[in-house]
Amino acid sequence: MEFIRLPAGQDPSLGEVLSSARQVRRLVSLSMRVTDKCLDALASLQEAAFLGSYGTILSQSQSEKMEQRGVKLHCHRSEGFWGPSVAEFALGLTICALRRIPQTYRQMIHDHKPWDWVELGERLHVGRSLVIILIL
């Protein structure tokens, strides 16, 4: 497996970036220009995903050419990709990170100290008043 990241500002075609295009069997290309010459160079290709910002970047004729060669093309549909569920998941991960839930869970598996609520209460000064001021 090889990962190639291009410097900012460069816009070469896929064929210009791949050093051994004839040996590539599986390929994921993210927002790279793909020409017919590039596709011809990928002689051993079996599976590929040519993704742009919204869907595939291949033209209809290029897609048909790949299918005729027996290349399985993977396309990601953009419907719902950045929907509310992704935002909810991101918020949940943020809350977990702030509350240190994964780290605490791992500690609970190996040690009983996280379950010691007396110590936790002493550290938090349970029974004392707490004032939270929100500045908007």
Total structural domains in the chain? 2
Are residue 21 and residue 69 in the same domain, yes or no?
yes
User: pTM of the prediction?
Assistant: 0.52
Q: Tell me how far the alpha carbon of residue 60 is from its chain's centroid.
A: 27
Are residue 67 and residue 22 in the same domain, yes or no?
yes
Q: What percent of the chain has pLDDT over 70?
A: 77
Are residue 66 and residue 90 in the same domain, yes or no?
no
Which residues have C-beta within 8 Å of that of residue 122, sequence separation ≥ 6? none
End residue of a domain, out of 73, 97, 124? 73
Determine, yes or no, domain membership for 49.
yes
80-121 pLDDT tens trace: 566 677 788 888 888 888 877 788 888 888 887 777 655 545
pLDDT for 77:
67
Tokens of 76: 């990601």
Domain that holds residue 99: 84-114
Determine, yes or no, domain membership for 127.
no
Q: How far is residue 129's CA from residue 136's CA, in Å, rounded to a whole number?
A: 23
1 CB burial (10 A radius; 0-12, 13-18, 19+): exposed
Determine, yes or no, domain membership for 8.
no
Tokens of 89: 């998941």
